[in-house]
Structure formats: C-alpha cells, structure tokens
A and B are shown apart, each in its own frame.
Chain A
Amino acid sequence: MNLRRTLLTTKRILEQLRHDPRTLALLLLVPTALVGLLSWSLANRPGAFDAVGPKLLGVFPLVVMFLVTSVITLRERTVGTLERLFTLPLTKADFIAGYAIAFGALALVQSLLVSVLSYTWYGLAHQGVPWRISIVALCAGLLGTAFGLALSAVAHTEFQAVQFMPAFILPQLLLCGLVIPVSQLPTVLRGIAYVLPMTAAVHAVAPQQSTPYYLGQFAIMLAYIFAALVVGAGTLRRVTK
C-alpha cells in the first residue's frame, strides 16, 4: 500500500462528493433528521427516546453509508475508471483504503453531528457515555462503507445495488434487538443475532454493562469492518478471465 496514492484517492472521492452537494447533504442530514423525528414521535412517552434513540444511532449510519458506497464504487466499475486505474500503478489496497478513509471521515462527521444534536436539541438523557455512542455511530458508518464496497462486486447495475439494501440490512434490523430483545429470540436465531454486526452496534450502546462486554461488541464490529474490506479488495479483479 502506498500512502500517497491512497490519500490522493481519498481526496478525489471527497472532491466528487463536493460536486454533489445533494448527496453530501443526504449523507449527513438524513440520519440526524431520522433520530430527531424519532425523539419527536416519542415526546409523549417519557424515557422511551432514551431507550431506543441510541440503538438507532447505530443503525441509520450503517444503512446510509452502505447505499452510497455500494453505488459509487459500482459506478467506478461500470464507467471504466477502475479498469483504467488498474493499468496504472495503483494497488487494490490503495483503492480500498482510499475509499475507507474518505467515507470513514464522512461517517465521523455524521456521527458527531447526530450525537451532538441528540444530547442537546433532542434531549437525550442516556445513561451511557456520549463518546461511546459517537464511536458506535462511527463504527456503524464504517460497517456500511465496508459492506457497500464488498457487495458492489456482486451487483451488476445500480438498480441491483440498491436492492441489496433490503436483502442485507432488513434481516439484521429484525434480529438486532430493536423489535424484540435478542435474549428472547428462538435459539437458532439468537445464535445468529449475536454475531451480526448490527446487533453488536445495538449492544455497544446498552447502558450499565461491563468494560469487557463493550470491548467484545467493538471487537465484533471491527472484525466485520476489516473482513468486509479484505473481501472488497478480493473482489477487485485486475484481469478479466
């Protein structure tokens, strides 16, 4: 991996987004607005937002980043720029890391925005530590980016890429503990739910758990991010058969 080429790629991706202010605004504002809407909808039920809000801070960034990353990398494959880059001295690692850093930076801004607003304007009184919730939101954004990079290889069109979202995200949403606590799921589903990345994001914001418990949840998320980035790099083909 070459740091200079990686950062040039990061800069190029951020320049592309800068020319597309609508996408940038959607990326940063949609999760924030959704959490705001949630807090408003629960305004008549004291304590309800404090229980559900932090969990969704781990869900919304994942969904948004997944969609944007899978479409933008798929475009790179279909327009021919990826093939052109592979005739130049750019490695797969430079390419993947360039994307991960660019979207990681966006996920960071997004997570700060949504957590700061949650604790101020939306009146979140969560019994957790604000910085831990921000890091969960950041991890969720990175998870979305890493999976978007990997799954864009399977999709042949942007239409298919968008449809991966319900196939990939919604099952996790059902099992991650939002609808029903994971401990109350049937045995098989419980086993699956415990190792899903979104479950780890939801568990990582739970209040009053031990430090090893939190570290375990972060370890699950980081393992998924790393694995998905490696798979994403593996799906890039310099040579077509």
Chain B
Amino acid sequence: MASSSQPTFEVSNLRVVRDGNEILTSISFHAVAGELIGLLGPSGSGKTTLMRSLLGVQAITGGSARIMDSVAGSPSLRGRLGYMAQTSAVYLDLTVAENIRYFAGVLAQPPSEIARVMDVVALTSFAHRLVSSLSGGERTRVSLGVALLGSPPALILDEPTVGLDPILRRDLWRTFEDLASTGVTVIVSSHVMDEAARCARLLLLREGALPFDGTPASLLTASGAPGYDEAFERLIEGE
C-alpha cells in the first residue's frame, strides 16, 4: 500500500490540447491512499481524457501529473495502476479464464491470483464461457477483474456502471468501497449523480475544468440545491 505521507495522485495545472481543442484547461487535485473519488461531469467534459492522462496513454500539453513516486506514463507505473476503460477492452473471442490468464501472465501473477480475481468479480462459474456470449454487465466484470489483477494500489475506472441494472451497480459500488477501505485509491467516473454520491469525495468536471472538489454534502450546501441531481445540474449549467 502507498504510504500515507505521499499522495497517490498529485495533479497540478494539468492541461491537454488535442487537435487544436483544449480538452482540459487547468486541473489540479491531490488524492491519498484509501480515497474513493467520484469524477463527475456531462458527456464531453473531459473525464476520459483526464483518466487517460493519469494513465499516461494521453499526452499532456502542460502542467504535471504524478502517480505515487513517478510521473504519469513512467514504465515503472505499468501494472501498478488498474485501468478499466469504457470499452470492455478484453478479448471477445476468448473465454473469461483465458482473458484473465493472459493478462495475469503479462503481469507475472501466480495462478492463485487468477482464482482470487475471478472470485472477487463473481465470475468463477462463467470461467469457460466466451466473453462474446456474456451480457454487458458480465463483460464489465471481466474487465474489472483484469484491472484488479496484482492488487494495484490505485484504480482508474471509466464509467464502469454505465448501462447496468441497479442491483449490479450497487454491488459494483460496494466492491469499490471495499477496495478503498483496504487502502486502494479509486477514481470512478460517472455521469449519474445519485450513485456518485456514495463517494466520500466528488470532483466535478465541466468544460475541461474542475469547478467543484469536495464531499457530496458540501456540494449540496455550495449549490443550495435540494438534491444531488439538481446540484449537479446547477453546477453544470454554471449557476
């Protein structure tokens, strides 16, 4: 686990310009071990770009992003940052077990880790099913399983609950809370306000900037809105 003295994520004035468009203007935030952070914002606000910048797969135009002891994109971070993209990013023409086994092999994890992860995402009974034959929620769990391989100290999850039924969403959020309680820093993006309110801390992204960083309760106070959905709308519409 990361030491508590050093932030897991340390982002300062992060700026990303892609094809002449400024996607992120100036993003700054810190996150420490064990935090569960909800990254909220409407579609196109830059959530995925921010996450990909932290992962080092999106080039940074200005500012800096440090993850644990390294600059974002450092080879030393490969495998220490669990990532789940919006696309499931697993092989549809392989079985669940073959997918997990391959990624575990790339990460040099022992067979016991494969069994552990299959258990965490409740896919043991699906082990020999082809991913292409699974439902959307089941595919999401395969993708999450891959992200959890090797128990990385930080997780970046891009809209992991989109399109899933309420029970599955609740279960996934419980998994995220459990992970955070063991010291993992988890950043989860969402555009659904009521589920993100389960996070101890919210970052609100709008047009490439962070107009709000705080607890769900303080979001209500700051916006003066009666509920989370209204608070979200007010901040997004810039009131």
Residues of A that sit less than 8 Å from B by CB: 4-5, 8-9, 11-12, 15-16, 19-20, 79-81, 83-90, 238-241
Asked if B78 and A87 sit within 8 Å, CB to CB, the answer is yes
Of all A-B residue pairs in the complex, the 9 with the closest CB atoms, nearest first, are A80-B89, A80-B87, A8-B105, A84-B89, A12-B102, A89-B78, A16-B93, A80-B85, A19-B93
Size class of the B contact interface (CB-based, 8 Å) = 20 to 34
Asked if A84 and B58 sit within 8 Å, CB to CB, the answer is no
Asked if A8 and B102 sit within 8 Å, CB to CB, the answer is yes
Q: Pick the contact of B56: A8, A11, A239, A241 (CB < 8 A).
A: A239
Q: What are 28 A-B pairs with beta-carbon distances under 8 A?
A: A4-B105, A4-B108, A8-B102, A8-B105, A9-B106, A12-B91, A16-B91, A16-B93, A16-B94, A79-B91, A81-B90, A84-B89, A84-B103, A86-B57, A87-B55, A87-B57, A87-B81, A88-B103, A88-B107, A89-B79, A89-B106, A239-B56, A239-B57, A239-B73, A240-B18, A240-B57, A240-B59, A241-B59
B64 within 8 A of A: no
B130 within 8 A of A: yes
Encoded as 1 (CB less than 8 Å from any A CB) or 0, chain B from 149 to 182 comes to 0000000000000000000000000000000000
Asked if A15 and B94 sit within 8 Å, CB to CB, the answer is yes
Interface residues of B in 37-82 (CB under 8 A from A): 52, 55-59, 73, 75, 78-79, 81
How far apart sit A45 and B59, CA to CA, in the bound complex (Å)? 63
How far apart sit A241 and B93, CA to CA, in the bound complex (Å)? 30
Asked if A241 and B106 sit within 8 Å, CB to CB, the answer is no
Asked if A85 and B106 sit within 8 Å, CB to CB, the answer is yes
CB within 8 Å for A238 and B57 given contacts A8-B102, A88-B78, A90-B106: yes
Q: How many A-B residue pairs have CB under 8 A?
A: 82
A198 to chain B, nearest CB (A): 30
A240 to chain B, nearest CB (A): 6
Q: Pick the contact of A79: B87, B102, B106, B130 (CB < 8 A).
A: B87
In the bound complex, residues from chain A placing their C-beta under 8 Å from that of B79 are 87-89
How far apart sit A86 and B106, CA to CA, in the bound complex (Å)? 11
How far apart sit A32 and B42, CA to CA, in the bound complex (Å)? 55
- Of A4, A20, A87, the most chain B CB neighbours within 10 A belong to A87
Asked if A8 and B59 sit within 8 Å, CB to CB, the answer is no
In the bound complex, residues from chain B placing their C-beta under 8 Å from that of A79 are 87-89, 91-92
How far apart sit A151 and B102, CA to CA, in the bound complex (Å)? 26
Closest to B17 in A: A241
In the bound complex, residues from chain B placing their C-beta under 8 Å from that of A239 are 56-59, 73
In the bound complex, residues from chain A placing their C-beta under 8 Å from that of B95 are 19
CB within 8 Å for A84 and B146 given contacts A12-B91, A20-B93, A239-B59: yes
CB within 8 Å for A83 and B106 given contacts A89-B78, A241-B18: no
In the bound complex, residues from chain A placing their C-beta under 8 Å from that of B107 are 88-89
Asked if A80 and B130 sit within 8 Å, CB to CB, the answer is no
Closest to B82 in A: A87
